[in-house]
Structure 1
């Protein structure tokens, strides 16, 4: 049986970290959740002299989703997997997981030590509101002048028969599969699904992806999505569109039943990964007692300064319904610090947000895509090239990774409206494009800059120069 086992990697226990000063319940700042924005606000306000309490319900989540079950460990798995070839994969699966777990344990410990050394009181218990800026945790009550909701998001699931089988996992559970499956079925087709497909294909696993959407890669331009799909199919991915999963039967193997273009089909698998997006963790927080509103998706409603509907209460990171990226959470902390303790000039409006999907090579974007521009009636020119055809960019040829393409959408005033980079180091290069867009640099100016040689950044010279 291929099942998931999630070990407790933390070296800390609740008892070890429990503080004895129980008579103090009034704080300047209270943070619920140990994610990127919350822990950074907690540390900085403690260093500034405020009394700060931070609540985290699990010692396995000190530091937040990213370092424990999200972007850091998944990229470590990808890195380790890409050092593996063919038959070595199954023998190395335990070693790969151990490398992941060692990194997580180190970062988990470092994050706890970092905030505690700054003077933050960490309470390892589930917290909930019982009144306006009043919180209950571990049978104690805490009051604060400022409260930060930072509880993040968790994987969505399917409400279908068979979903509770231990071989059916989400993006966390799939990282702890006891054995490497021979056949993995992924339900979903977004960036998380794409990254895990790339990971397990590189480990010689037969990967089948069932996506409810009619086409692969919905958020990406059609030509880019088609090229990426062709590349993944060449590596072994089987992609099935317009697939609506109905039930999962469990025997020696799992059998996934789905409606595909109106026809009933079934698929065998050793494990099933459900990767259909994430939802805000707002359940059982007692938000109604604090006067904090949520939208119809369950996300906390905020304005551009991240105020909730309750005075003195902010919501940051994945819980507020914005883009679910760690670096957005980090920027949220800047907005809150400036609004509550600064000049109040910073907000979330008009943020230029780059993205990166860690397939091989990485797929990075910034700005709007063609479909968005067409809906808005904005005229643009598309400048694009295959990476292998860019003569001034020899670095991919040197490292033998010429797969990919680059595409820029340019407005009538030579402004960069959007960009897609699918190439080696695109996750780095896209930040340069985002900066150029934020400061109003034209496409000609960006393409005309002097770049070291040979470098993958020369893609800018090759397509825009």
Structure 2
């Protein structure tokens, strides 16, 4: 049994920053990570960094439409190699950033609780027992695998993680799920040159967004050649000699349909990665989805154990995990003023082409609350910078309280939306009115200057 000042299970964004911080305060820290392919967490290895690297190369590929499919396949192979180089570099860098610290020991093995303050680390060589009065869980989330006939051990069925390991560009790709992850991969692979089919079980895409925004997204993606099949309930997948046959049913007409493809992507959501932690032995409760229950300071039902990042449910973004670290830091060493209740509003971006970004309320949210609002819209084609970029598709939309001029929400669908949304977020967080952005002096030509007109 080894006693340390802190045990962190999971080498993700929040956990790794916390480990470095504690080490600098002369805490002895044990960092537990079950896979040597996951140093640095999901973002670096299977999430933000690899996908955005491929999104960038896919956008360049879209400008080379005159290539043959074999030439597109070769370009895709090179993109996968570049993605691997980027992730390998960052993984190694993240490992050294912690392992080289005098007060941090990295244990590569499966961590699980055996009681309220003790963690067993099962490595390839041995079982190690660690004990601490401060334990932090940062194990992230994993892909939900639906109970579909024919997907188990099927070499042509992929998750978002395994598809990015595929070296050959599939000529035809079926994506099961039309949520944000499904749309991001649909946009990416269509740009690389795949024929993409999206099967969505509901009657609408991205239901969190207003219907005018969702319609714009669908229209733009259809122009890329993506085929959407709504109300599509997948019943089974059958392996063929060089691919698969996907059978689905239209839930409205009950008509059965089939699609053949070289690959199937399961984009059916993610859930907290808690199954193997044996949390019950530590007195840590989870909700019906397996997410760890926490209070406003991220403490679990065991007061000596905290949870941060995707494992506690809610928004699954790396910057949320980083902010979780700040809350824990203030709880341990500060005035305990930071908590989950003062976090909103939080923006998010979906890296389709062009990107979709949003913060705050949608128009539908505001109307459900019977707020007196004005809704401003601006076509991307009306923005000078969009014209210079040659990217004129999309729409910007703002929701403003008519009485107070308070910014309630904003959705940006267009080039550089993932950057511009941060300016709106800053204005909202600092409690500025819509007039602040209406009259702000932006550089020209820029996408951000469109906020002058959008909030006018």
Fold match, TM over 0.5? yes
The match for 1:423 among 379, 395, 414 is: 414
Which residue, 79, 82, 87 being the options, matches 2:56?
Answer: 79
Deviation (angstroms), 1:331: 0.4
**Superposed CA offset, 1:244-295 (max 9, x none):** 1111011123111111122211111110001011000000201011000000
Q: CA deviation at 1:373?
A: 1.7
Task: Give the corresponding residue for 1:433.
Answer: 424
Count, aligned residues: 439
2:76 match: 93
1:127 matched to 2:111? The reply is yes
Q: For residue 35 of structure 1, report the CA deviation from its aligned partner.
A: 0.4
| Residue 167 of structure 2: aligned partner | 178
In 2, distance between residues paired with 1:130 and 1:217?
Answer: 41
- Secondary structure of residue in 1 paired with 2:341: coil
Distance 1:118 1:347 in 2: 29
CA contact (8 A) 1:410 1:417 kept: yes
The match for 2:213 is: 224
Residue 330 of structure 1 pairs with residue 322 of structure 2: yes
Partner of 1:141: 129
Structure 1 residues 22-421: aligned runs within 5 Å: 25-84=2-61, 85-86=64-65, 87=68, 88-119=71-102, 120-138=104-122, 139-164=127-152, 165-252=154-241, 253-260=243-250, 261=252, 262-350=254-342, 351-389=344-382, 393-412=383-402, 413-421=404-412
CA–CA distance in structure 2, aligned partners of residues 371 and 455 of structure 1: 29
Structure 2 gaps of 5+ residues are: none
Measured in 1, the distance between the counterparts of 2:314 and 2:220 equals: 31
Q: Give the deviation of 1:313 after TM superposition.
A: 0.4
User: CA offset at residue 354 of structure 1?
Assistant: 0.4
**CA distance in 2: counterparts of 1:37 and 1:152, whole angstroms:** 10
Structure 1 unaligned segments of length 5 or more: list them.
Answer: 1-22
Q: What are the Cα deviations for residues 172-220 of structure 1, in whole angstroms up to 9, with x where unaligned?
A: 0110113211110000011111110111110111000000111122111
Residue 117 (structure 1) shift: 2.5
Alpha carbon RMSD of aligned pairs, Å?
A: 1.1
Name the CA distance, whole Å, in 2 between partners of 1:32 and 1:290: 14
CA contact (8 A) 2:80 2:167 kept: no
TM-score normalised by L of structure 2: 0.94
Question: Could you say which residue in structure 2 is the equivalent of 1:445?
Answer: 436
**8 Å CA contact retained: 2:292, 2:311:** yes
**Alignment partner of 2:354: what SS?**
coil
